[in-house]
Structures are given as structure tokens and as C-alpha cells.
Amino acid sequence: MLFIIRLVSIAGLSFLLSLIMPWWCLILVAGIICFLLPAGSFNALLSGLLGGGLLWMVMAWKIDVETNSIMSSKIVELFPVDDVNMLIIATGVLGGVAGALGAFTGNSFRKIFIKKKEKSFYS
């Protein structure tokens, strides 16, 4: 359940902050969310990956639909990509990598401040 809360909060806050901040606000939001909400390393990485990737993919698809693929078709000519859909998927992958790195960094930064429980002879 905490995974879904992290994923939705990363995507939602990143979307709201992207209206007034640059693209890298996704990294900050993912780092802060994973710092505040405890998780394992892989769980934090996956929530940042899916939150950032899905957000950027949906935003790229929305822009593509609103502009009737005018901008996307011009960008496809610049890059060695054959289809507009591959460009949208590549955008999602880049957003996912940015979100995953931010989430993993925030989670690792949180683990610096947590005191590890010493193992007892009886436990």
C-alpha cells in the first residue's frame, strides 16, 4: 500500500511542480518522497521509475494528441526513430530513469540517519 502511495505522490507532485519548475523537479520530488516514506532500496527505485516514467509518458502522449503530432513528427525526423510512439516510449524511459535515480538517492540519504539495530544473542 505504501508503494502505491509513493508512486501516486511522486507522479502527482511532479506534475504540479512541473507547471512552475523545470524538468528536474521530478528528481527532487522523488528524492523527498522516498526520504519521508520508508522503503527498501528496490521498492524506492521501482516507485520512482514507475512514477516518473508513467508521468512523462502520459504527458508526452497528451502533447502529441493535442498538437496532432506536428511537433512529434518533426522531432522524429531529427532522431533515428521510425515512429512517434517510440519517441513517446523513449520519453517515458528517460523520465523513469530520472525518477528512479532521485528516489534511490532520497532513500539512501534516509538510511544514513537511521540507526541500525544491533543483533542480540537471543534474536
- DSSP track, 1-37: -HHHHHHHHHHHHHHHHHTTS-TTHHHHHHHHHHHHS
Residue 51 CA to residue 26 CA, distance in Å, equals: 9
pLDDT tens-place string over residues 6-57: 999 999 999 999 999 999 999 999 999 999 998 899 999 999 999 999 999 9
Rounded mean pLDDT, 69-77: 87
Q: What's the whole-number mean pLDDT along residues 51-76?
A: 92
The SS3 assignment for 68 reads: coil
Neighbours of 63 (CB within 10 A): 14
Cα–Cα dist 47/20, whole Å: 23
Question: Is a pLDDT exceeding 70 seen at residue 96?
Answer: yes
Sketch the domain layout of the chain as residue ranges: 2-113
C-alpha cell at 54: 508513467
Cβ atoms < 10 Å from Cβ of 85: 13
Per-residue pLDDT band for 123 (boundaries 50, 70, 90) equals low
pTM of the full predicted structure? 0.86
